[in-house]
Structure 1
Amino acid sequence: MKTSEIKELTTKEIVEKIQVEKESLVRLRLNHAVSPLDNPMKIQESKKNIARLKTVLRQRELSDNQN
């Protein structure tokens, strides 16, 4: 998910996406612990998506506090 796509989402949608990504990351880690994933880069991609979502959410919080 690109940053430009994330910025178009509402704050509520971003929070929901964070929850979905976190659940997905847990499932990926569990599956990888049991048997190796076909593409272990999915774990890294999921972590980066969570970080992007949290970054945009934090930027919105800061801009709301300044006004």
Structure 2
Amino acid sequence: MKKADIKNLSKEDLQNQLADAQANYFKLKLAHKISPVENPIQIRDLRKTIARLNTELTNKQ
């Protein structure tokens, strides 16, 4: 998700996106521990997306 996309989201949309991203992050981490995923950079990208969503959510309050 791009920064511009995140800035245009409402507070409720940010919360929904954050919940989805966190769920995907934990699933991907678990899958990676069991057997290596094809693209481990996805884990890092999801972590950064979660941070961006949290930052924007804090700014909207």
Q: Number of aligned pairs?
A: 61
Q: Check if 1:47 corresponds to 2:47.
A: yes
Gaps of 5+ in 2: none
Post-superposition Cα deviations, 1:6-61, rounded to whole Å, max 9, x if no partner, equal: 11111000000000000000100010000001000000000000000010111111
- Cα distance in 1 for partners of 2:44, 2:54 equals 15
- Where do 1:12-27 residues align within 5 Å? 12-27=12-27
Gaps of 5+ in 1: 62-67
Residue 3 of structure 1 and its aligned partner are, at CA, apart by 1.1
- Cα distance in 1 for partners of 2:60, 2:14 equals 11
Q: Identity of aligned pairs, percent?
A: 33
Task: Give the alignment's TM-score, normalised by structure 1.
Answer: 0.88
Task: Give the alignment's TM-score, normalised by structure 2.
Answer: 0.96
